[in-house]
Amino acid sequence: MAAPDSPASPRVRERPLSPHLQVYKRQVQMMTSITHRATGMVLAVGALAMVWGLTALAAGPERWDAFAACVGSPLGKLVLFGFTWALAYHFINGIRHLVQDAGYGFAVPDFVRSSWISVIGSIVLAVLGWAVALATWGQA
C-alpha cells in the first residue's frame, strides 16, 4: 500500500482541506482581514524608517538634513502618505479587533458595518491628518 498522503497519490493530495477562496463571494470582511496583515507588514518597514529618522537626529544636523530631504521629496511624501494610511487603517481595524477579542460585534451586520468603518475611516483619517499637518506646518 503506497503512502496515501505522499505526492505520488494525487487523489488524496488534491482533496481540499478547507473551503477554498475561489468559491467564496467577495466580502468586505475578507478584505479587512488580509489588509490588516498587509498594513502590519508595511508599518514594520515604517517603524524602520522611524528609527532611521531618530538615528539621523542623534547623528547630527547633516545626517538629519539628508533624512529630511529624503522624506520631503515628492517620492518621500508619497511613501509617507502610504505609511499614514496604513497606520490609520491598522489603528482603526486594530481597535475593531480588540473589541471583537472582548466578545462584541460578531453579528454579521455588525461585522460588515465595522469593516466599512475601518476602510472608510482610515481614508478619512489619513487625508484629515495630512490636511491638518499641511495647514499647521504651512508647507505644500
The answer to whether 132 contacts another protein (rule: CB under 8 A) is yes
User: Between 20 and 59, how does the x/- string for binding to another protein read (CB under 8 A)?
Assistant: -----------------x--xx-xx--xx-xx--xx-xx-
The answer to whether 66 contacts another protein (rule: CB under 8 A) is no
CA distance 64 to 93: 33
The answer to whether 133 contacts another protein (rule: CB under 8 A) is yes
The answer to whether 19 contacts another protein (rule: CB under 8 A) is no
User: Helix or strand or coil: residue 14?
Assistant: coil
CB 83, min distance to another protein, A: 12
Give, in degrees to the nearest 5, the angle at Cα 22 between 107 and 87: 60
Q: Binding residue for another protein (CB under 8 A) from 1, 75, 107, 108?
A: 1
Q: Which is nearer to another protein, 109 or 117 (CB)?
A: 117
CA distance 48 to 86: 14
- The closest of 122, 29, 98, 71 to 63, measured between CA atoms, is 71
C-alpha cell at 26: 467577495
Residues 68-87 contacting another protein, CB under 8 A: 87
Cβ-proximal residues to 140 (8 Å cutoff; 6+ apart), any chain = 134
Element (H, E) at 99: helix 74-101
The answer to whether 101 contacts another protein (rule: CB under 8 A) is yes
**Residues in the site for another protein, rule: CB under 8 A?**
1-5, 12, 37, 40-41, 43-44, 47-48, 50-51, 54-55, 57-58, 61, 64-65, 87, 91, 94-95, 98, 101, 129, 132-133, 136-138
